[in-house]
Chains A and B, each alone.
Chain A
Amino acid sequence: MEEFFQQLTNGLAVGGIYALIALGYTMVYGVLKLINFAHGDLFTIGAYLGFTLFTAFGLSGMVAGPGAVVLVLLMVVGLVALIGFLLERVAYRPLRSSSRLSAVVSALGASIFFQNAVMLIYGAKFQVYPNDIRPSYVLSIMGIDVPLVRIMMIAASLALMLALYWFTQRTRIGAAIRATAIDQGAAKLMGIDVNRVISLVFMIGPALGGVAGVMVGLYYGQVDFTMGWVYGLKAFTAAILGGIGNIPGAMVGGLLLGVIEALGSAYISIAWKDAIAFLVLILILIIRPTGLLGERVADKI
């Protein structure tokens, strides 16, 4: 039983990261019906920007631990949001009225561009976050050892997700985003500036991905330029699992995928972990083609 709960917390921590990244996929899909394949690379960029801010500018020396982390997170949010904004302007907006396939190709191109740019700037080797920032305290609850960072990570992911949910459900801008997602033409007629809404979505999604990147860097220590691929793929899966275009769906999908992976490797086989996770995905899509919480059919990629 102890092992079960240990694996559950392992899964939730990984799943929290998947969910944060999945939010970016799902928001963009909800509004534009476009899978932003460059999203995983924005996550990588976030991780690398965090690395630069922590090491090159010696922030960890200037400001005390938690302060530095918050400061870096805020700066990364701003910078990755800016990159997301530019990405939409350069790669997606000119193609908005053309066929969906062109936009997908453009997204793939942006992904390759970002990945190689990171490699050329930082090199192909692993980069390592400074070791002294994160607290090394380990909580022991009834025989389960959970590092404090893990709990903080799960808590931060949940807080960000809830904040985003509140933002889209309870604010005027959130309502505008939802309106744009449902019908762009009608939203325009209601006086909503659709272009601004789309720009905003392309800032929020990547910013969340960037935060996830810094969190991965902080917790796991190493970052490399291909990390966005694995995480991006898993988060994309999580978004589909929960129902793409649906914000609570992305949260549920991400956490669920993390837990399935952890329990699958615990009770079946580690080597088959990914196969198990995708098998579950297939089963869920057979039973519910729209994903767990999805309303729309994900008919286009």
Chain B
Amino acid sequence: MKHVIKALTLALAASLLMAATAFAAPVKIGLMCPLTGKWASEGQDMRNIVTLLADELNKAGGINGNKVELVVEDDGGDPRTAALAAQKLTTSGVIAAIGTYGSAVTEASQSIYDEAGVVQIATGSTAVRLTEKGLKRFLRTAPRDDEQGMVAAKLIKAKGYKAVALLHDNSSYAKGLADETKALLDKAGTKIVFYDALTPGERDYTAILTKLKAANPDIIFCTGYYPEVGMLLRQKMEMKWNVPMMGGDAANHADLVKISGKEAAKGYFFLSPPGPQDLDAPAAKSMLTAYKAKYNGVPGSVWSVLAGDAFNVIVEAVKSTGKADSAAIADYLKTKLKNYPGFTGQISFNEKGDRVGDLYRVYEVNANGEFILQP
């Protein structure tokens, strides 16, 4: 009992103190991110970006004269820790929470925010099911896993390939992408001449390549990860077979070229969200300059930049509706916000809370083994 009284007194004192320092009631925005654990570098980038934006906003006068107060909680990249973090954030009176990175981690916190009626905007969680639950106040700035398949099918059609070979590695991610692409290509009438899975972790894929060659495709779309893709590229070159090859974002790793060699990787292209250095929106350029000045480095991936986008759309919603109210924010974001100029391109949301518009870009490997963003 003593502890409870102590805690209550402390909380009271703290809230009084805050009330005294702020001119008006501050708008509280929560950020839940993995500051520790295996994704710590992502989480720290997320915190850095959102802190930077909040500081800039407050310096410029806040939202309609109200200061923004950021409440950061660590989810440790772990579903159980995330549940605790979500409870802390919802009880601290935030109107909206940004986060988090991993899909499973986000999923563990979804119902807590939903029950508390707090808007949640996930930033790196791409699993399809998150927005299929009909949660009214859940949104995400990240693309869905099935969007990549859509973009891949579109790209294959745009490049005019008629006979497509699909190769995955039986992981749920790679198989999902291959299936998604296959379904769309079937619908569009593009011929799938080959569909099979390789065994990841092996060295010799010549048997697969020989079989692929007999199927005579115009393009090989291998949805697997970079070690296997690198070996395939290399052994394909050794067979003197010049068929083009493409991949998904699991191929986006600098070691790809190390494994395949520059010569074999040349001309290989893959889909991926743009890296922070390739973001071409003017807002992104100025934000990255400020980020560099403050933290002496650039964010490691695009996923943390999406946290910045989430912060900005929340601020935009509060500004436009004039209300620091969760229901109003969710409604505004899902129905009224159209083509907001974000860091990662234009942002709109659909009824489910998914981001509309593609984030995926095409990268091609040049003769020096560098990944070049294609226009």
List A residues at the B interface (Cβ < 8 Å).
Answer: 3, 6-7, 10-11, 13-14, 125-126, 128, 131, 136, 138, 145, 147, 216, 220-222, 224, 226-227, 230, 261-262, 265-266, 269-271, 273-274
Q: Which of B71-79, B106-114, B231-239, B313-321 contacts A (4 or more CB under 8 A)?
A: B231-239
Q: Decide: B227 and A265 in contact? CB cutoff 8 A.
A: no
| A128-B258 contact in complex given A10-B210, A271-B197, A274-B199, C-beta closer than 8 Å | yes
Q: Decide: B202 and A230 in contact? CB cutoff 8 A.
A: yes
| A11-B234 contact in complex given A221-B261, A230-B201, C-beta closer than 8 Å | no
B14 CB within 8 Å of chain A: no
CB nearest neighbor in A for B235: A220
Q: Decide: A265 and B231 in contact? CB cutoff 8 A.
A: no
| A145-B239 contact in complex given A126-B227, A221-B234, C-beta closer than 8 Å | yes
B230 CB within 8 Å of chain A: yes
Q: How far is the CB of B25 from chain A (nearest CB, A)?
A: 50
Closest 7 CB pairs of A and B: A271-B197, A220-B203, A262-B207, A10-B206, A270-B196, A265-B207, A128-B258
Q: B319-354 vs A: 1/0 string, CB under 8 Å?
A: 000000000000000000000000000000000000
| A222-B227 contact in complex given A145-B240, A270-B196, C-beta closer than 8 Å | yes
Residues of A within 8 Å of B210, CB to CB, are 3, 6-7, 10, 266
B259 CB within 8 Å of chain A: yes
Residues of B within 8 Å of A126, CB to CB, are 227, 255, 258-259
Residues of A within 8 Å of B201, CB to CB, are 226-227, 230
Residues of A within 8 Å of B213, CB to CB, are 3
**30 A-B residue contacts at CB 8 Å?**
A3-B210, A7-B207, A7-B211, A13-B206, A14-B207, A125-B255, A126-B227, A136-B238, A138-B238, A145-B239, A145-B240, A220-B203, A220-B204, A220-B231, A221-B231, A221-B259, A222-B203, A222-B227, A222-B231, A222-B258, A222-B259, A230-B202, A261-B207, A266-B207, A266-B211, A269-B196, A270-B197, A270-B207, A270-B208, A271-B198
Q: B205-220 vs A: 1/0 string, CB under 8 Å?
A: 0111011011000000
B81 CB within 8 Å of chain A: no
How long is the Cα–Cα vector from A230 to B238 in the complex, in angstroms?
23
Residues of A within 8 Å of B234, CB to CB, are 220-221
How long is the Cα–Cα vector from A67 to B57 in the complex, in angstroms?
66
B51 CB within 8 Å of chain A: no
Residues of A within 8 Å of B206, CB to CB, are 10, 13, 262
CB nearest neighbor in B for A230: B201
CB nearest neighbor in B for A131: B261
Q: Decide: B199 and A273 in contact? CB cutoff 8 A.
A: yes
Q: How far is the CB of A267 from chain B (nearest CB, A)?
A: 9
How long is the Cα–Cα vector from A266 to B211 in the complex, in angstroms?
6
How long is the Cα–Cα vector from A147 to B227 in the complex, in angstroms?
21
Q: B183-200 vs A: 1/0 string, CB under 8 Å?
A: 000000000000011110
